[in-house]
Structure formats: C-alpha cells, structure tokens
Structure 1
Amino acid sequence: MPEHTPIGLGHEATTTTALTHSGNFHLDETLGYVVLHYALTPMGDLRARILGDVPDDCLKFQRSRDPEKIQAADIVFDVGGIYDPPKGRYDHHMKNKPLREDGTPYSAAGLLWKDYGKAAIRNLVRTQVDDATIAAIWQSIDKSLVIPIDQDDNGVAKMGKLSLADIVSACSPPWDTAELHGPEEAKRRETLGFANAATAVASHLVNTVDRVRASLKATDRVLAAYENAEDKRILVMDTGMPTEKVIFEHDLPVIYVVSPTGSGQWNVKAIPPERGAFGQRISLPEAWGGLDGKALAEVSGIPDAIFAHPARFICGAASREGALAMARRALEIDAALKSQQN
C-alpha cells in the first residue's frame, strides 16, 4: 500500500468521480477502470455505470477530454498530463513520466494497480487469506499482466496476437463508423465498445485473481508433499492440482507425479525435461505404451493397471497403490536398462 491513502479508500461518504479520456480506448485505461471498480465499488454494476443505465453509485465514471471535467474529477487517469497520486492524478504521458525501479515506464493501469490493486484483490478473493497472500497475488499479477501492459502501452514490447490488448481493441467500432452512421451513433457505439471491453477485462481479472490464489495454495501443498515423499523422484498428491510450475520453480528432482482424477482412478504423469517442453525426464516403459486393461496389467505386473498412453507420458491405475506401484516399477525398469547399457 502506498504511503498516502488513495482517494476513495479512506472513509469518504461522498461519491468518488473517476475520469479517463474519451475517443479511442486501449487495455491501459480499460483495466484502470476495472481496478477502480473492484477497489472502490465491487458490488456496483461495472457495465451499467459506463452506459449510464443506473443512477450513480459511490463511484461515478466519466470519459471525456473536457478540461473542466478533468479538473473537477477526483481521480483522473491516462489523461490530464499530471502524475500526483495524493491528488488522484494518474497520467503517464508527460516528458518526465513515472518509471518502475528497472526503468520500465508505467501505464495508467500500472499506476492505478500500484495504489488500488491490493484493495481490488482483497474484494475479489472469496476465501479468508492473510495480507502476505494478498501481496503475493498482487505481485504475481503485476508481473504476468500489468508489466506487459505497461510495456505495450509505452511502445517497449508488444503483448502479441490474441492477447487481452487485442480483445480490447476488437471492441472498438471501425474507423468509418461516424461516416456510415453519424457522429452521435458513433459515440454511442464507442461507449458500448468500452463497456464490452471492460466486461471482458473484468472477467479476466476476476478469474486471474482466483487462479493465482489457488496456485499459491498449490505451491504450499506440493512442497509439503515433496518434503514428506519417501522417494523424492515420485511426488504423490492426494488431490489433483497443478504441480509442474512448482517443480521447475523450486528445481525439484521429481520424475513422476501420482494423483487422483475426477473419475476415481489414479494417474502417473511424467515430468518433461524443461517446463512446457515435450518429452519426459524418464519416459514410461516402452513395453507399456498404448496398452490398456488386461494386456497392460500382464505386461506391467500391476493388477489394477488401466492404461498407458502411446507417447508414454501418462498412465493410470484403479487405485493409489496401483499408480504408485506403476511409478516405482517404471523407475526400476529405467534403472535396469541403464545398467545394461553401461
């Protein structure tokens, strides 16, 4: 949290007016509005507020370049030529623009995320978490989403095709809308486009916050399971969850992950040599590939073996004990083959 109390996060009883520019819109100011919405009025109607379909709640939102409206607003972002957070000014287009510690220029979204992001996350997380978890979620989203937006908006690096930035841009009406339909209809479609973009960005942010929260929870469980593992090459998880990210980030020497599936069986999944790569650190036995049922049970020696993928990166059994036995047997076969080769 910044040293100053961001406008709207104190105990103000009055409505907070937030303003960004009208005209063409980008992911920068769209996310900025979404962050303010969840930080200040998470129960409000994000879309209807843009369209003017509901009376103003405690957050009033405007899109304008009118100097008088800019002057009167409590929070102004991506327009106005001023960066002064205690006064609610969050522009980044000045010559002496605000920079991150590594020299990356901030976007307006980045500046608002810095002041309002943790408040937004706190309102989005539906389970009880501590301040350290809120900070960890903030840091993860800052790195994975907000910094790329800063870079894209400032011409440092493009986010790439089919990114969230592209989705927002696709919500803008075509360049000839005013020519075809007149200025008033063009303005209406622009406002509708911003509302559509904000809805998409809000959905992404809500889902991202929850996924990061769950990822942090998974990290704790994976590390605990690894600590308790009899054989550090075999990670046994009692609940299905993402494990590969944790394995590579913590450089764990895991070869196979044993975990249950939704259908009640247990799978053995081989870890790739590098994160996101094809292949396996140790493939499942060649003789198992493509077999299932009785044939696999006979070849593997595991009575309740169910299947083995032809690519030999995953196999399964009907029980935890069976899957664990398959993982152990696969390691034994690999060790025997290497011994023969030597």
Structure 2
Amino acid sequence: MTEHTPIGLGHETTPVRALTHSGNFHADETLGYVILHYALAPQGDLRARILGDGPEDRLTFTRSRVPGQIQASDIVFDVGGVYDPAAGRYDHHMKNKPLREDGTPYSAAGLLWKDYGLAAIRNMLAEPVEDAMAAAIWQAVDKALILPVDLDDNGVAKMGRLSLAEIVSTCGAAWDTAELYGAEEAGKREMTGFADAAGIVARYLVGVVDRARASLKAVERVLRAYEQAEDKRILVLETGMPAEKVIFERDLPVVYVVSPAGGGQWNVKAVPPARGEFGQRVSLPEAWGGLEGQALADVSGIGDAAFAHPARFICGARSRAGAVAMARRALEIGAP
C-alpha cells in the first residue's frame, strides 16, 4: 500500500497542517479530509476544525488556493499540481497523473487511502483487529467505495443519482449564492456546506468499514457452517448474517439457508440461481405458497411451521428443528 512512512504516522503527537482547495467541492477531497481525520486526529472535532471554531487539536485543516498556504502545509491534496507522497503532496490533476496498477487514475481520496487508509481503519473500529483482517478491510473498502470515487472524480464512470458524490455536491451552495446574498455570505455557506458534507461522508465511511469487517467475519462463519453441514445443500447459521456473497464466490451448492429471524422463529431462505437475481435454485413447494400456521403445518407435515411466502422463496417455523425439517422436506419434494 505504501513504501514510505506517510507524514504524521509514527509521530502521533506532531502537529500536521493539511490543505485542500477552496471553492466547489466534491466527494474526492471531502473523503480525503475524512480519511486524514480518522488517520491522524480522530478525537478532534471534524466539523469545527473546518469552520475554525473548535478547540486546537493535532490536525489543522485549511481550504485555500493561495500558493503560500499550499507551500506551508504538511499535507496538500487535490491541489498543487504535485504527487509526491513522501513530501505530503497528493494531487492528481497533472498530465502524468498517478495510476492504479490496472491503469485506472487515482483521485486524491484514492491516493490518501493508499497511505492513510489502514491507520484510519484501526481508529474507526471499536475493537482491534489483526493485520491480515485490517488489510482485508482496506481492500474491501477500496473496491466498494474508494475506486468508485476515483472513477467518478476522473470522469471515467459516474457514481450516478443518489450516490455519495451526488449527496456531497448538494451540500454545496447554489451557483447564484453570491449574487443573492453577497460574497461574504457565499463564503460562509461554502464552508458550512463542506462541513455538512464531511459529516455525512464520515458517517458513511465508518459504516462501510464496519460492514466490511462484519462481512469478512461472516465469511469465516459461513464456511465453518458449510463444513459442518450434513447435507451441503442446507446451510444452517446460528446467527443471521450475509451468506449469499460467500455461496456464489465459493461456488457452494447451497440451496436453502436456515437462520434465526427473531422472536424465536427460524426462517428458510431459498438461494437464487445467480447472485442478485430473482428466482430460486429450488423453489419451496408449490403447495406451501401463501399458507400460514396450522394450514401450512397440515400440508407440510411440520408441526410448528409458521408461514411460507406466496413467491416461495422463504418460509419459517417456530423452532430451529422445524426450519431444518422444512428445508429437508422442500428438497425431497422439489430437488431434481
């Protein structure tokens, strides 16, 4: 991820001055600031630091295009015309812009994530994780969030409507703000908008990191449950968790996933023929569709059967044993 020690890491008490450009802002530099916040000064006030009205902390943040301020800053990103990470310079707007190994151009956020992402992850997680898990989370977040920001910011592929990029943009002031309210008020609204956007991006990044951690944890548990399964077509999970991703990535022959649904009930969910598609590898029995309670128990022969969806992709029972029995019965009836 990096072969040098990024500025500010390894010297946790040294003050760091970070700067990005003023004016219109995007997901790129907003996310870049949030990454630096969590990597270098997570105890500081993310919003107040932008507005300049918070208590002093290790990280100082400025939005400016003034050459003297750029030169005086320790970390400069998305402005300045230089990519030199050892010197704390993370721009990507040059002719010879920094590229990923596959040729995809980086955004400033991508460049900062490469150097500061691991430190940010460790400060975001509630509990410490081993190096291998931290690296896996870094990779998952890079793919799910950072790469799309790189692509969007460089005009390669838009994130689309209602995306993080769109939400960040709507935090900015409208084009005629200065015309309507004057330059001073427009400047205030610009800074407030950036602070608003940073708060949204920070919450989103924390959520993406934690979901990546939980997803990786789920992989281990799903594979363990699969290894222990008597019938490899029925996956029994003792806790609800995402399983479909693992099933398709590992090409597991699972047909039904049994897991608790709350309130003492256990559900049987049919696996689709391909990830994200409608339909099922093996639908639940046609005779069960739309039935509940005693009517379903009579038809299925499972005494505590609770319900079966009319679309026959999910059903449930009032016990673990009942749900497993429903899955087995469904396979007896419907498996080719």
Residue type at the aligned position of 2:241: M
| TM-score, normalisation: structure 2 | 0.99
* Corresponding position of 2:7: 7
Alignment of 1:117-156 (within 5 A): 117-156=117-156
Unaligned runs of 5+ in 2: none
Deviation for aligned residue 1:127? 1.7
* Corresponding position of 1:52: 52
Deviation for aligned residue 1:218? 0.4
Deviation for aligned residue 1:13? 3.4
Q: Is 1:262 matched with 2:262?
A: yes
Residue type at the aligned position of 1:232: K
Contact (CA 8 Å) 2:218, 2:242: kept in 1 or not?
yes
Aligned to 1:269, what secondary structure does the other structure show?
strand
Q: How many residue pairs are counted as aligned between the two chains?
A: 336
* Corresponding position of 2:105: 105
* Corresponding position of 2:311: 311
* Corresponding position of 2:85: 85
2:299 and 2:292 map into 1 onto residues whose CA distance is 10
Alignment of 1:295-334 (within 5 A): 295-334=295-334
Deviation for aligned residue 1:262? 1.6
* Corresponding position of 2:33: 33
Alignment of 1:188-227 (within 5 A): 188-227=188-227
- Cα deviations by residue, 1:44-80 (Å, 9 ceiling, x for unpaired): 1101100111133100000000000000000000000
Sequence identity (%): 76
- Cα deviations by residue, 1:99-143 (Å, 9 ceiling, x for unpaired): 111011110000000000000001111123100000000001111
CA RMSD of superposed structures (Å): 0.9
| TM-score, normalisation: structure 1 | 0.97
Contact (CA 8 Å) 2:122, 2:128: kept in 1 or not?
no
Aligned to 2:96, what secondary structure does the other structure show?
coil
- Cα deviations by residue, 1:168-197 (Å, 9 ceiling, x for unpaired): 000000000000000000000000000000
Residue type at the aligned position of 1:74: D
1:190 and 1:11 map into 2 onto residues whose CA distance is 33
* Corresponding position of 1:241: 241
Deviation for aligned residue 1:12? 5.4
Deviation for aligned residue 1:15? 1.4
* Corresponding position of 1:183: 183
2:238 and 2:26 map into 1 onto residues whose CA distance is 44
Deviation for aligned residue 1:14? 3.1
Residue type at the aligned position of 1:142: D
